[in-house]
Chains A and B, each alone.
Chain A
Amino acid sequence: GAVVSQHPSRVICKSGTSVKIECRSLDFQATTMFWYRQFPKQSLMLMATSNEGSKATYEQGVEKDKFLINHASLTLSTLTVTSAHPEDSSFYICSARLEGAFFGQGTRLTVV
Chain B
Amino acid sequence: QKEVEQNSGPLSVPEGAIASLNCTYSDRGSQSFFWYRQYSGKSPELIMSIYSNGDKEDGRFTAQLNKASQYVSLLIRDSQPSDSATYLCAVVDTGRRALTFGSGTRLQVQP
Least Cβ distance of A68 to chain B in Å? Answer: 19
Binds A, one of B12-20, B70-78, B98-106: B98-106
Which residues on A are within 8 Å of B, measured CB to CB?
Answer: 6, 32, 34, 42-46, 49, 57, 91, 93, 95, 97, 99-106, 108
**In the complex, chain B residues 53-111 whose Cβ is within 8 Å of any chain A Cβ:** 88, 90, 96-104
The interface residues of chain B lying within 8 Å CB-to-CB of A45 are: 101
Q: In the complex the two chains form, is A103's CB within 8 Å of B44's CB? A: yes
Whose C-beta in chain B lies nearest to the C-beta of A34? Answer: B98
Whose C-beta in chain B lies nearest to the C-beta of A1? Answer: B46
- The residue from A34, A43, A101 contacting B34, defined by CB atoms under 8 A apart: A101
Whose C-beta in chain A lies nearest to the C-beta of B96? Answer: A49
The interface residues of chain B lying within 8 Å CB-to-CB of A44 are: 44, 88, 99, 101
The interface residues of chain B lying within 8 Å CB-to-CB of A49 are: 96-98
Given contacts A44-B44, A44-B88, A108-B41, contact A101 B103 (CB under 8 A): no
Given contacts A49-B96, A49-B97, A49-B98, contact A104 B103 (CB under 8 A): no
Q: In the complex the two chains form, is B97's CB within 8 Å of A32's CB? A: yes
Q: In the complex the two chains form, is B104's CB within 8 Å of A101's CB? A: no
Docked CA distance A42–B34 (Å): 18
Q: In the complex the two chains form, is B43's CB within 8 Å of A42's CB? A: no
The interface residues of chain B lying within 8 Å CB-to-CB of A102 are: 46
Least Cβ distance of A52 to chain B in Å? Answer: 13
Docked CA distance A105–B98 (Å): 18
The interface residues of chain B lying within 8 Å CB-to-CB of A93 are: 43-44
- Closest CB pairs A-B (n = 3): A106-B43, A103-B43, A43-B103
Least Cβ distance of A58 to chain B in Å? Answer: 12
Docked CA distance A46–B101 (Å): 9
Docked CA distance A99–B42 (Å): 21
B30 CB–A CB distance under 8 Å:
no
